[in-house]
Structure 1
Amino acid sequence: MNLFRSTAVVLALTTGLLALPAQAEVMQQNTSGDPMYTANAPKGYAMIGDLLIARPLLIGATAIGAVAFVVSLPFTALGGNVAEAGEALVVEPGKSAFVRCLGCTTTGYKRD
């Protein structure tokens, strides 16, 4: 029963923390007000929270997503959507964990 409670708490916290960047996207503008110079400048508490809470959870989500991708690989190969599954399960959490700036809500790495 203790394992079940621990798993439920971790799942609830992870879900809540992964939903925060979607709700808390705040952009600060410079004094000129020119949108060309708009920068994502996170506060210190956002950086600390990101470092201590969000990054370890995102690294865990990347590892769990990699395991889920390998387990689902036969089914996604039959369905023809291996690339989409890899993108959703491994690449997206990995980009959020390793490429995003500390405290930022969006990834700074754009490869088009």
Structure 2
Amino acid sequence: MKSLDDDQAQDIVTIALEGKSNIADHMVIAEGRSTRQVASMAQKLAERVKQAGGEARIEGLANADWVLIDAGDVIIHLFRPEVRSFYNLERMWAVGEEDTPEAETAEA
């Protein structure tokens, strides 16, 4: 989260996946203003994960409209704004939420 905030990611959202999926414990969704910013954020974040001793696999870096970073227990989706609104992952993962949603929005 700090890495994305430092790189001026916008509209950062975290979603707890425990009990919803076995692929990860948390999902982070954020956006950049351009493909260049999305690609830069993804590369820096993956490098920071590796420096901390973790593994990070990246997909979608070539186009940088939607970049997925698999960091093990955390999956990070970085989007351009138009692509994020089209796929609307927050809504997909919030299906069945109670009155107190697990999705939390962080101020960017």
Q: Same fold (TM over 0.5)?
A: no
Identify the structure with bigger relative contact order (alpha carbons < 8 Å, sequence gap 6+). 2
Q: Which protein has the larger Cα radius of gyration, Structure 1 or Structure 2?
A: 1
Higher helix share: 1
The structure carrying a bigger strand percent of its residues is 2
